[in-house]
Amino acid sequence: MQSAFSLSFSQSSLTPPNRPLCSSNAAPRNLRFCGLRREAFGFSPSKQLTSCRFQIKSRRIEVSAAASGNGAPSNKSFDYDLVIIGAGVGGHGAALHAVEKGLKTAIIEGDVVGGTCVNRGCVPSKALLAVSGRMRELQNEHHMKSFGLQVSAAGYDRQGVADHASNLATKIRNNLTNSMKALGVDILTGFGSVLGPQKVKYGKDNVITAKDIIIATGSVPFVPKGIEVDGKTVITSDHALKLESVPDWIAIVGSGYIGLEFSDVYTALGSEVTFIEALDQLMPGFDPEISKLAQRVLINPRKIDYHTGVFASKITPAKDGRPVMIELIDAKTKEHKDTLEVDTALIATGRAPFTNGLGLENINVATQRGFIPVDERMRVIDGNGKLVPHLYCIGDANGKLMLAHAASAQGISVVEQVTGRDHVLNHLSIPAACFTHPEISMVGLTEPQAREKAEKEGFKVSIAKTSFKANTKALAENEGEGLAKMIYRPDNGEILGVHIFGLHAADLIHEASNAIALGTRIQDIKLAVHAHPTLSEVVDELFKAAKVESPASTTPQSVKAAV
């Protein structure tokens, strides 16, 4: 059952273009859902499937053999087939895929392997959020009593919590480094820059050549003008992840992903939080309905207040016994509105691309608000609007979607292209998540975005919703607070966006994101089977709740007969 599904989607990654893995009758190309008996594809378990498995195994041996040596480049005119500037998650993903494809690969890192995500972002923040989740549960006497449990007062050791985050970052950083070394990727130390076409400098005066170059230099915290960061009382996420203190009162400037997650951590550890948001509502980047519910659960019951529609025009660090001073002005009129005095201010106003000093002037490339301009294939565009041959940019540095897994996906897409297989990444299929308690996740368009698109293109939009309160597993966990929402086209079953707020929402979103990536229609995926009782049934019920006007399936009749 599972083997048939995995074979049908692994062909492109295991074989070169136009080279079939096994018989063309092995699996329908437009298969859109799993849970199918492999007999539906005409497999004979004793013959054809065994043959396919053998070919997969043989191909993996070939890949492993090519990777372990990272030998001579395919074109002897260059030192490497591929050089990647930046060893964050994006660069790492591209490097591993390149070696799998048989490319002699080098990666340049001027700081530490893992980049922002591993060292100063997603990884250590998840460690802190794991602590905040457990603290919330232990501190919720009503919740514990509902299980028949009695727990004494919960406490924490600040340094122990900080060490947990630091140790996790170190472990993941070592894992990434070792994985590249094991596959033969050359890790070059020093700041990298582009000297000219297919030529890179790193360190003091080391110069190498490569057939193709990927820029993957990531981003740094964005600090608006007028804000003085001292790293102690006025901090960015880089400083906050070290958890050198837990202030009694902290102001968080910005209520996006970063601000929300840190509010979850600080309130669980006992701090009072004040949000400062320039727009008229909190969580402006989320679907409005999800934002409204999330505010009711994540903001209102907690020790959090907020100011919306205001800028922090000036923030002065604490000094000589004085607290942190925050001057607030109206976002529209710029008139003074208030002055706050707090213990600490966390600047969570987003991130800025790290693209200075990359030698872009050597190839006539001008950044746009710091971002390197690229086309849909991540190819760099110069100042005249022309493509720079053999030069690509992925991740935060190009600004298309500032998420670690998006950077990795872009890197893999680039490697596919340089090895002869055209590939364009669908960014609307890339999920995002906010790891609060409960979590928020999303993929595709919000409802306002979908309705705007529908108006322009002339189609209707429908909404389907399901509640966690109807899910057995959520109720067993006493975590029934939550909502799943899908925006779709009722005329053809196309999924436009899915948004989830609730227990393990970050894990649940991937069925929807994969459906969007594969072009799966609702009328097909609603036939998939989900284990009971599981949280995945929240998404299952979401698909089943949708009403499609033309339920014609894209699934072959032979496959339907086997369901």
Number of H helices, E strands in the chain: 18, 23
* Token reading at 488: 């779709």
Residues in contact with 198: Cβ distance below 8 Å, sequence separation at least 6, in sequence order = 78, 209, 210, 211, 212, 213, 390
Q: Which of 163, 169, 349 is nearest to 244 (CA)?
A: 163
* Helical (H) or strand (E) element with 193: strand 192-196
d(CA 132, CA 134): 5
DSSP string of 171-183, one letter each residue: HHHHHHHHHHHHT
d(CA 358, CA 38): 51
HSE-CB at 108 with a 13 A cutoff on CA atoms is 28
Q: Would you list which residues are annotated within the binding site?
A: 126, 192, 217-219, 254-261, 277, 350, 396, 402-405
The one catalytic residue in 92, 142, 307, 532 is 532
At position 489, the amino acid (one-letter code) is R
CB 80 within 8 A of CB 397: no
Q: Is 532 a catalytic residue?
A: yes
DSSP string of 264-276, one letter each residue: HHHHHTT-EEEEE
d(CA 255, CA 263): 9
Q: Would you list which residues are annotated within the binding site for FAD?
A: 126, 192, 217-219, 396, 402-405
d(CA 504, CA 499): 13
Cβ count near 20 (within 10 Å): 10
Tokens 């859902």: give the residue.
33
Helix, strand, coil proportions of the chain in percent (round to 5)?
35, 25, 40
Burial of 34 (C-beta count, 10 Å sphere; 0-12/13-18/19+): middle
* Residues taking part in catalysis: 532
